[in-house]
Structure 1
Amino acid sequence: MNSQENAAEPDLVVRDAPEHGRYEAWLGADLAGFVDYAVDGTVVSLLHAEVVERFGGRGVGGRMVRQTLDDVRGRGLRVRPVCGFVASWIARHPDYAGVVAAPEQE
């Protein structure tokens, strides 16, 4: 875990919002960020991650990605990290490499 993730907001809640096609990160009543996705069978393409500007630099992005990947993995699905931020986060956290879809799953 890097220092920004250690400093992450303790009350950050990340939840799937399928009606919006995204995972949302909430700090209390405030939307702090989101990860847009599309589902194709057992593969979830993570298309775009964004942290609301006023929450930047507080570890929200990393924690949001971690919780998103944990949820996808818990559902027995795999991800296709289209978003550069998500792909680089996974590259820095090799314990999450197993959640990435194999090329034949894409």
Structure 2
Amino acid sequence: MDIKVGENRFYIGESEKDPLAEIVFCFKKSDIIVIERTFVSEELRGQNIAGQLLQRVVEKAREERLKIIPECTYAQKVMNRGEDYKDVLYNEGTQN
């Protein structure tokens, strides 16, 4: 699947306005990304598309030295599961 870059989102599909799958984020501060929602259409479910989209946000955070606040339940569940995302997960008690 070809993951495209949109405005504060990564998505799959022909149009950013009508994606087949997307992960949407905003910037809380210049160095903190808030993942707001993840969506995968029924036809793409079961293919780890949400995981691939989340991975693109994580790559962006690592490349740009950003931290992530996962507000959407999918991102929270995945990112809080283990150590893989600890380097980019925002912790209110620490600073970048």
Whole-Å separation in 2 of the counterparts to 1:77 and 1:64:
17
Which of 11, 32, 38 is matched with 2:26 structurally? Answer: 38
CA RMSD of aligned residues (A): 1.9
List structure 1 segments (4+ residues) > 6 angstroms apart after TM superposition.
Answer: none
**Tell me, what secondary structure is at the counterpart of 2:65?**
coil
> What is the match of residue 48 of structure 2?
59
Q: Quote how far apart the aligned CAs of 1:93 are.
A: 4.2
How many residue pairs get aligned? The number is 90
1:16 aligns with 2:5: yes
Identity of aligned residues (%): 16
**TM-score, length-scaled by structure 2:** 0.79
1:90 aligns with 2:79: yes
Structure 1 runs not aligned, ≥5 long: 1-11
Structure 2 runs not aligned, ≥5 long: none
Whole-Å separation in 2 of the counterparts to 1:59 and 1:76:
25
What does the per-residue CA deviation read over 1:71-99, in whole Å, with 9 as the maximum and x for residues that have no partner? 22111111110011001111234211110
Contact map agreement 1:37 1:47 (CA 8 A) in 2? yes
Whole-Å separation in 2 of the counterparts to 1:84 and 1:54:
21
Structure with the higher fraction of residues in helix conformation: 1
**Tell me, what secondary structure is at the counterpart of 1:98?**
coil
Structure 1 residues 75 and 16, CA gap change in structure 2 (3 angstroms)? farther
**Tell me, what secondary structure is at the counterpart of 1:74?**
helix
